[in-house]
């Protein structure tokens, strides 16, 4: 079992190591991170199990994005504090597509070091089909709508068949209707490919609707944790278990819940 | 010299469809209309020359210039002179472009590179490079070397400044996304940094080509025993204004030609921006 302390080099043996490892894809132990005199993370602990969908909530500045960046290998972390097994990929709040490459060639870039030239195109087309963008393969990213661009970004993140998919508020810039469609799409893709997902969000309802487990980051560490009850299809906001969980999570975020369940969390 | 920095025309792509024939006919008409006044000026010039109002030793008539151009082309004088001048520009451009681009990449991709390369470049760029001619002559004499050095100097700075700022203006978030996809430093340079800096670098290319021709003209006017500048200087001694105008026209045409070449490259390489 090879626990890599830094971002794993996604080499040709990536899939092999995936099969040989145990139950955990990401492990954070006592992680500290400060910027100047501001201590953002103060001993954060987090375990993400294989195939698990985890939502990480927190107020602005709680360090949730910092934690995600550590897991993505974008932020240097001391040895032993952050370890990720297998392949990781990230979808950010902005799609971050390269404007000078077509949609297809953007997705292809994620396979540059892992898949042979000849079989890339087929995988890319498969990934674009899964996000229903087959007709946009040869288009410049600049001509896509926000939702379409974010779907390309998802396809690019999934095409490398990651063990851990990190989602950094990927729906927050989308309009409400597109966001609902994206929730369904992410759920569907997660069920099909079973990567572990860490979704960083400030939207409590989104977290409860999508995740197996909801975490709240506060004061630089994981303050609270809940298993989300019920199957995803039964998680109606009116259901008393869901309503109660929602109140608890909001409470942990420092928001006094009211009876209106469809309001914005205000914890942006 | 304004021909060297010709402005970009509004090239509106004609959309396919039923209205195309009529619209392109209309645009052809307006294109023709734009030729009326230049032709009228040439015609008036010719008439005034014929009437003796414009003396030939001040400027020759258009017909005379045309005849001289034909004569110089036929006996090979113009072709030889142009070839020599073009070779000078190519050599100077090659040297300057390599220096400008390499320094821009060094300064653009590393902090240490920037701190080392950028301060002297920013200081040197304020020097009017034509002012260096006396020094270049002291150092290199009056042969080919100072001419090529002058052109190279003129080319290096606009390319450096534009490419460097192009690299710096690349969205860091793009580079980050490339890191999360496991791209190596070299791959990021190739797939993110270079294409990202290309639009600004091409602006630098156009500027630097303009300066290259300008530097050539200045260098050849100061001293030359061959090339277009020599042809023009030689004609001056004999008050051959027709030859001088032919030389100037060739300078303009060469400048325009390289400018259109860069515009063609821009259209091809920056198709994604339309």
Model confidence over B111-132: pLDDT tens digits?
A: 999 999 999 999 998 888 899 8
Half-sphere exposure of B125 (CA within 13 A, CB side): 16
Residue A252 located in a structural domain: no
| pLDDT score for B2 | 41
| pLDDT score for A12 | 39
B20 pLDDT band (50/70/90 cuts)?
low
Say how far apart CA B64 and CA A267 lie, in whole Å.
82
Residue A131 located in a structural domain: yes
Question: Between chain A and chain B, how many beta carbons pairs sit less than 8 Å apart?
Answer: 58
**Tokens linked to A108:** 């292809």
Tens-place pLDDT, residues B220-274: 988 888 999 999 999 999 989 999 999 999 999 999 999 999 999 999 989 888 7
Q: Which among A96, A113, A140 is the nearest to B174, CB-wise?
A: A96
Record: contact A113-B178, CB cut-off 8 A: no
Domain ranges of chain B: 76-273
Residue A154 located in a structural domain: yes
In chain B, residues with a C-beta closer than 8 Å to the C-beta of A98 are: 174, 191-192, 195-196
Q: Which CATH class is domain B76-273?
A: mainly alpha
Q: Provide the percentage of residues in chain A whose pLDDT is more than 90.
A: 31
Tens-place pLDDT, residues B146-166: 999 999 999 999 999 999 999
| pLDDT score for B16 | 42
- Is B169 at the interface with chain A, CB within 8 A? no
Say how far apart CA B46 and CA B54 lie, in whole Å.
9
A266 pLDDT band (50/70/90 cuts)?
very low
Q: How crowded is residue B176: how many other Cβ atoms within 10 Å of its Cβ?
A: 18
Record: contact A92-B177, CB cut-off 8 A: yes
Residue A156 located in a structural domain: yes
Q: Which among B177, B178, B272 is the nearest to A142, CB-wise?
A: B272
Nearest CA in chain A to B184: A113
In chain B, residues with a C-beta closer than 8 Å to the C-beta of A10 are: 182
Poorest-pLDDT segment among A117-121, A206-210, A231-235, B101-105:
A231-235
Q: What are phi and psi of A93, to 5 degrees?
A: -60, -45
Residue A152 located in a structural domain: yes
Say how far apart CA B246 and CA B250 lie, in whole Å.
6
- Is B166 at the interface with chain A, CB within 8 A? no
In chain A, residues with a C-beta closer than 8 Å to the C-beta of B191 are: 98, 101, 109, 112
**Tokens linked to A7:** 């971002």
The total of structural domains in chain A comes to 1
A51 secondary structure, DSSP code? T
Record: contact A113-B176, CB cut-off 8 A: no
Record: contact B179-A74, CB cut-off 8 A: yes
Record: contact B181-A92, CB cut-off 8 A: no
Say how far apart CA A65 and CA A200 lie, in whole Å.
7
Average pLDDT (A80-101) is 90
**Tokens linked to A123:** 């995988």
Q: Give the ipTM.
A: 0.81
- The H or E element that residue B114 is part of is helix B111-125
Say how far apart CA A40 and CA B159 lie, in whole Å.
42
Record: contact B184-A94, CB cut-off 8 A: no
Residue A36 burial class via C-beta count within 10 angstroms: exposed 0-12, middle 13-18, buried 19 and up: exposed
Q: How many Å lie between the alpha carbon of A142 and the closest alpha carbon of chain B?
A: 8
Length of chain B: 274
Secondary structure (3-state) at A107: helix
No. of helices (H) and no. of strands (E), chain B: 11, 0
Query: If we measure between CA atoms, which residue out of B132, B34, B88 comes closest to residue B225?
Result: B88
A267 pLDDT band (50/70/90 cuts)?
very low
Mutate to test the interface with A, among B169, B172, B181 (most CBs of A within 10 A): B181
Residue A134 located in a structural domain: yes
């Amino acid at each position: 079992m090879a626990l890599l302390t830094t971002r794993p080099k996604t080499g040709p043996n990536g899939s092999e190591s995936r099969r040989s490892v145990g139950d955990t894809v990401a492990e954070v132990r006592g992680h500290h991170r400060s910027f100047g005199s501001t201590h953002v993370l103060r001993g954060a602990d987090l375990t993400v199990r294989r195939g698990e969908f985890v939502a990480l909530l927190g107020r602005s500045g709680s360090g949730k994005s910092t934690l995600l960046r550590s897991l993505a290998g974008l932020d240097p972390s001391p040895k032993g504090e952050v370890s990720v097994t297998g392949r990781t990929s990230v979808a950010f709040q902005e799609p971050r597509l390269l404007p000078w490459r077509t949609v297809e060639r953007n997705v292809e870039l994620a396979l540059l070091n892992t898949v042979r030239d000849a079989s890339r195109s087929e995988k890319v087309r498969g990934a674009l089909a899964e996000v229903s963008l087959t007709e946009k393969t040869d288009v410049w990213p600049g001509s896509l709508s926000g939702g379409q661009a974010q779907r390309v970004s998802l396809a690019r993140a999934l095409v490398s068949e990651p063990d851990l998919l990190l989602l950094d508020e990927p729906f927050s810039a989308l309009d409400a209707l597109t966001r609902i469609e994206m929730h369904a799409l992410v759920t569907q893709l997660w069920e099909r490919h079973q990567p572990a997902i860490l979704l960083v969000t400030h939207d409590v309802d989104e977290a409860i609707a999508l995740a197996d487990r909801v975490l709240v980051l506060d004061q630089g560490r994981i303050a609270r944790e809940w298993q989300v009850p019920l199957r995803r299809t039964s998680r109606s906001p009116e259901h008393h278990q869901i309503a109660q969980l929602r109140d608890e999570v909001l409470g942990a975020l420092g928001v006094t819940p009211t009876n209106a369940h469809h309001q914005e969390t205000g914890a942006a | 010299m304004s021909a060297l920095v010709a402005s970009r025309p509004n090239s509106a792509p004609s959309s396919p469809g039923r209205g195309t024939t009529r619209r392109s006919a209309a645009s052809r008409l307006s294109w023709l209309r734009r030729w009326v006044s230049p032709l009228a000026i040439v015609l008036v010039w010719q008439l005034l020359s014929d009437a003796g109002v414009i003396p030939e030793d001040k400027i020759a008539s258009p017909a005379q210039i045309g005849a001289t151009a034909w004569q110089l082309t036929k006996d090979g004088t113009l072709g030889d002179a142009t070839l020599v001048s073009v070779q000078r520009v190519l050599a100077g451009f090659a040297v300057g472009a390599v220096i400008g681009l390499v320094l821009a990449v060094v300064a653009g991709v590393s902090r240490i590179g920037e701190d080392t390369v950028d301060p002297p470049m920013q200081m040197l760029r304020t020097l009017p490079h034509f002012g260096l001619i006396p020094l270049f002559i002291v150092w290199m004499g009056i042969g080919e070397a100072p001419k090529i050095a002058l052109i190279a100097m003129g080319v290096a700075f606009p390319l450096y400044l534009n490419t460097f700022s192009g690299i710096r203006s690349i969205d860091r978030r793009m580079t980050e996304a490339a890191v999360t996809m496991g791209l190596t430093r070299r791959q990021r340079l190739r797939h993110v940094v270079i294409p990202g800096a290309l639009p600004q670098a091409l602006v630098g290319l156009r500027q630097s080509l303009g300066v290259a021709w300008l530097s050539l003209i200045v260098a050849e006017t100061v001293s030359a025993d061959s090339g277009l500048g020599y042809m023009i200087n030689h004609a001056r001694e004999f008050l051959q204004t027709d030859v001088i105008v032919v030389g100037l026209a060739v300078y303009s045409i060469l400048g325009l030609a390289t400018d259109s070449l860069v515009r063609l490259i821009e259209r091809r390489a920056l198709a994604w921006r339309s």
